[in-house]
Structure 1
Amino acid sequence: MNAIVDINLKELALGAFLLLIPIGFLYTYRIKMVKDVLINVARMVVQLSLVALYLEFIFDLNSALINSLWVLVMILVGVLTAINRIGLKIKFFIFPFFIAGLTSVLIIDTFCLGLILKLDYIFDARYFIPITGMVLGNALNHNIVGLKTYFKSHTEKQDLYRFLLSNSGNQKTAVRPFIEEAVKMALNPMIANMSVIGLVTLPGMMTGQILGGSPPAVAIKYQVMIMIAIFVGCTINIFVSIVFTNKIIFDAYGNMKEATIKTTRFLQKKIQR
C-alpha cells in the first residue's frame, strides 16, 4: 500500500470553496440558511481541531481512566443533546437516558473489543474511543427520531392509548403500538442504509481505513463489524430509553402523569390550544 496522502491547511482551505455551491443555491432561492451553514461549518472546524489536539494527548497517554471519562462525557453530551432536541426536562430524563447510553456502550464494547478484536488492552484509545463514538453518534440520531415519535404518538393518540388500556387492562399491551411505531421510525433508515452499503454507498469507516492504507478486505470486515455494532447499540439504546420513559410518564395503574407529559414542547402547545 502507498503512504497516506496528507492534506495541508492550504489545500484544506481550498476545499472549503466547495461550500460556495450550496451557498449559491441557498442565496439564489432566498432560503435563509446561509448564516446557519457558515456558523455551523466554522463551529465544526473549531470543535474538530480541539478534539484532534485532545485525542493526540489521550492517544499518547492511553489511560484507562481518562479514556473512560472521555466516553462518559460523550454519553452525557449525547443525552443532553437528545433531551434538548426532543423537548424534555433534564431533571426527569437525564439519568435514565444516560443509563441507556451506558448500557449500549458496555455491551457493544465488551463484544467488539473484548471478544471479536480480542484486544489485550480493551481501553486502547485507538479502538475504544472511535468505535464507542460511532455507536453513540448513530444512537443519538436514531434515538431522537424514535423518542420524538413516541412522545408525539402519545400526545396525539391519547384516546387510543386509553382505549387499549381499558380493554386490555395491561399497560404493556396498551403501549405496544406506540413502541412499534417509534422503533420503526428509529431503525428503518439504518436498515435501508445497510441494504445498499457497497452498492450505492461506501461507508465512512471503510473508506477511511482504505484511505489510511488498509487492504480493502480488512476494511470491509471492520465495516461489517461496526455496522452490526451500531445497529445493535441503537436498538439497545432505543428500547432501554423507552422502558425508562414508561416508568417516568406512567403511574402504577398505567395512567399518564400529566405533569411529566407536559415536559414535551409539542404537548404544551397542544394543551394551550
Structure 2
Amino acid sequence: MNASAPELGWLSLLAAIALIAVPLGASSRLRLGLGRSIAVATARMVVQLALAGLYLRYLFAWNLPWLNLGWLLLMITAAALSACRNSELAWRTMLGPTFVATAVPALLVVTYVNAVVLRLDQVFEARYLVVIGGMLLGNTMSGNIIALTHFFHSAKADAGGYHFRLACGATRTEALRPLYREATRRAMRPFLATMMTLGIVSLPGMMTGQMLAGASPVDAIKYQMVIMFAIFTVLTTGVVLSLRLGSAVGFDRRGRVRGSIFEA
C-alpha cells in the first residue's frame, strides 16, 4: 500500500469543527449545562494540538537524546499531576508518589520496546520515544485516576471496616488489601474490555494512523499488538505502584486516612 491519506486544509478542519455543533445542541436541548465546558475543551484541544505540532516538528528535527528524554519526563510530570487533580487528591502530597509510579514502568517499558522489540539503533529516538511514551502515559494516567479515586474515597467511606480489620490484628497492608484489590480491578477492567473488542468494535489510533499513512494492515496490526502489550504492562505496574506509594503518604502512623490527602 503506497497511497497516503489526503492532506487536510483549513476548510477541512473547519468542517470537522462544525461537528461540535451536535454535542453543543444536545447540551442546550437537554439543559445539561455543558455548553461552556464543551466550548472550552474544544478550544483548549485545538490550541494544545497546534502547539504540539509545532514543538514536535523541532523535537523530531533535532532528535537529541537528552532533549527527547527530558520531554518525556515533562510528559510524565503532567500525567502524574493530572492523575492527582482528577482523583480529587492533594497534588502537593500525591505528586511525588504518582510521578514515581508513572515514571518507573513507563521508562523501563518504552526502553525495552525500543531496544528489544523494535531493535532501534537509537533507543531514545524522538519519534519512537515521545510517541510510544505518550500512548503509554495516556492509558496509565486514566488507570491511576480510577484506582486512586476508588482507593482513597473507599478508605474514607469504609473507615469502620478498615479499622475493624486493624483491631483484629491485621497489618495496615492486610487491612487495605480488599481496597487495593478492588481499586486495581476497576483500573484494569476498561482496558481489558478494549483488548477484548479490538479489531471488532474499534480500530485503535496507532493502527488507524499507520494505515492512513500507507502502511499495510498486517504491519499496522503488528505494531498495534506491541503497543497494547506495552500499555497493559505499564498500566498494571503503574496502578499497583501508585496505590502502594500513595498509601504510604496517605495514612498516618495510626493507620488513619489523612484528611489533608483530599483536596479542599
Alignment of 1:70-219 (within 5 A): 70-219=71-220
Paired AA for residue 255 in structure 1: G
The residue aligned with 1:38 is 39
SS in 1 for 2:168: helix
- 1:195-253 CA deviation, whole Å, 9 max, x = no partner? 0001111111101110011100010011111111111111111111111112112345x
The residue aligned with 1:69 is 70
Instruction: Say if 1:58 and 1:125, in contact at 8 Å, map to a contact too.
Output: yes
Q: Distance in 2 between matches of 1:154 and 1:245?
A: 12
Paired AA for residue 167 in structure 1: C
Instruction: Say if 2:250 and 2:261, in contact at 8 Å, map to a contact too.
Output: no
Q: Distance in 1 between matches of 2:152 and 2:216?
A: 45
Q: Distance in 1 between matches of 2:85 and 2:95?
A: 10
The residue aligned with 2:234 is 233
Query: Normalization by structure 2: what TM-score?
Result: 0.95
- Unaligned 5+ segments in structure 2 are none
Instruction: Say if 1:101 and 1:237, in contact at 8 Å, map to a contact too.
Output: yes
- 1:103-154 CA deviation, whole Å, 9 max, x = no partner? 0112211221111001110111111101000110111111101100000110
Deviation at 1:184, TM superposition (A): 1.0
Instruction: Say if 1:168 and 1:174, in contact at 8 Å, map to a contact too.
Output: no
Paired AA for residue 197 in structure 1: L
Deviation at 1:82, TM superposition (A): 1.4
The residue aligned with 2:243 is 242
Instruction: Say if 2:3 and 2:213, in contact at 8 Å, map to a contact too.
Output: no
SS in 2 for 1:262: helix
Paired AA for residue 143 in structure 1: N
Aligned residues: 263
Q: Which deviates more, 31-40 or 201-210?
A: 31-40
Q: Distance in 2 between matches of 1:132 and 1:237?
A: 14
Q: Which deviates more, 50-59 or 159-168?
A: 159-168
Match of 2:260 among 253, 262, 265: 262
Query: Normalization by structure 1: what TM-score?
Result: 0.92
- 1:163-200 CA deviation, whole Å, 9 max, x = no partner? 22222432221111000110111110110111000111
The residue aligned with 1:271 is none
Q: Distance in 2 between matches of 1:227 and 1:152?
A: 30
Give me the identity figure in percent: 33
Paired AA for residue 196 in structure 1: T
User: 1:10 aligned to 2:11?
Assistant: yes
Paired AA for residue 12 in structure 1: L
Deviation at 1:262, TM superposition (A): 3.2
- 1:19-59 CA deviation, whole Å, 9 max, x = no partner? 12222222222221111111111111111001101000000
Instruction: Say if 1:109 and 1:132, in contact at 8 Å, map to a contact too.
Output: yes
Q: Distance in 2 between matches of 1:40 and 1:124?
A: 31
